[in-house]
Amino acid sequence: MAHNRTPLTESSQEIFEKYQIDEEVGFALPNPLEELPAPYDEWISIAKNLPELIDKNELREKVDQLKIHSIDALKGHKSQRLAHLALGYITMAYVWNQGDGDVRKVLPKNIAVPYCELSEKLGLPPILVYADCVLANWKKKDPNGPMTYENMDILFWFPGGDCSKGFFLVSLLVEIAAASAIKVIPDLFKAVKNEDQNALQKALCYIASCLHQAHKEFEQINDYVDPSTFFNVLRIYLSGWKGNSQLPEGLKYEGFWNTPQKFAGGSAAQSSIFQCFDVLLGIRQSSGDESASRFLQEMRNYMPPAHQEFLLSLESGPSVREFVLSKGDPKLRADYNECVNAMVSLRNYHLQMVAKYIVIPSNKQENKGTGGTSVMTFLKSVRGTTENFLLRDN
């Protein structure tokens, strides 16, 4: 995707089209498909029955029996995204199986080859990423009903009952709430360019309200996700093979690469939306801890290419922060700080949830997140850097 990276001067409609962003659901895939035609329906069938196949210890045998399918007949972005999601689920299940330490280090070619070819076509890595399990793994029960937890479901499940649904859907609802702010980005840049303080304050207030709504959605995780099930079951299936002692060399994709490959597991750091607000507000994570900054940068490679391009285009836009600083207006500064504080608050809450869902169940002080980083250290660093960008009174 070779978009020229100029500041975003287009209308929000043009931005949505150019960068594969949806007006209603943001970076999420709008109305994902649920079925694929033959022969790819075999993949869907296995992915839909994962918990049962794993429980009966039949999953690996079923995968080993699959014929190898060319992806040439997989037409259309939505079909390709559904196939990537299904193959991602199957791959995680094949590697980790019953989560008891019986780990496979080789993904057989009948699944590895189409998965890797499809991943190259989509510009995504061949592992279950956030863009799969959160952004493309949902449907409405009543198509005309609202985007609420009660009216939504996921397409594929891992073992652990409703834990998958709770974790993926709450993550999606947080994402969608925050993404409502994307449509005011052109207003934001235009206001800076025209030195229109009123328009800028209005846009900043709207962004802050979207971030506050995202926080409210995040709180639902307590209602729908059990800490013990998340830690002992679901988390296993979200683990990658980079920095993982169970797969120190990585995973061998038979028939595609000659050597094992290392990829990080799905992680909220792979969400474009919060990196988007860091860029917009001039919160430079690169000024903080080097390893945290490097990890966030690396996670961009796990995002759909159009969304990576969108972040790059934002980086070449005018600096909202510099404009606010140059004006020295207390009200403008307060509105800017309200946005930064909303980001700090979300990251604080994320830390609390990591403590509840990972640290406490494990009874350990230091843990690796599914992305492979020391998760508390990473999140504290990101939160601390965010706080440092609050504009203090002189």
Per-residue pLDDT of the chain (394 residues; tens, 9 = 90+): 444 445 466 788 888 999 999 999 999 999 999 999 999 999 999 999 999 999 999 999 999 999 999 999 999 999 999 999 999 999 999 999 999 999 999 999 999 999 999 999 999 999 999 999 999 999 999 999 999 999 999 999 999 999 999 999 999 999 999 999 999 999 999 999 999 999 999 999 999 999 999 999 999 999 999 999 999 999 999 999 999 999 999 999 999 999 999 999 999 999 999 999 999 999 999 888 898 999 999 999 999 999 999 999 999 999 999 999 999 999 999 999 999 999 999 999 999 999 899 988 887 545 666 655 588 889 999 999 999 999 987 5
- Contacts (Cβ under 8 Å, ≥6 apart) of 298: 264
Q: Is 350 annotated as a binding residue?
A: yes
Find the radius of gyration of the CA atoms of the chain: 21
Sign of the C-alpha dihedral, residues 177, 166, 298, 294?
A: positive
- Backbone phi and psi for residue 353, each to the nearest 5 degrees, phi listed first: -70, -35
Tokens 């209005």 identify what position? 202
Cα–Cα dist 325/3, whole Å: 31
- DSSP H stretches of helix in the chain: 12-18, 41-48, 50-55, 59-64, 77-96, 109-122, 130-133, 163-179, 185-193, 197-218, 221-224, 227-229, 235-237, 272-280, 290-299, 305-315, 320-327, 330-354, 360-362, 375-388
Q: Which neighbouring-strand residues pair with 39?
A: none
Residues 187, 164: Cα–Cα separation, whole Å: 37
User: What tokens does 221 get?
Assistant: 């995780």
Domains and CATH numbers, the chain: 26-389 (1.20.58.480)
Are the CB atoms for 155 and 32 separated by under 8 Å?
Answer: yes
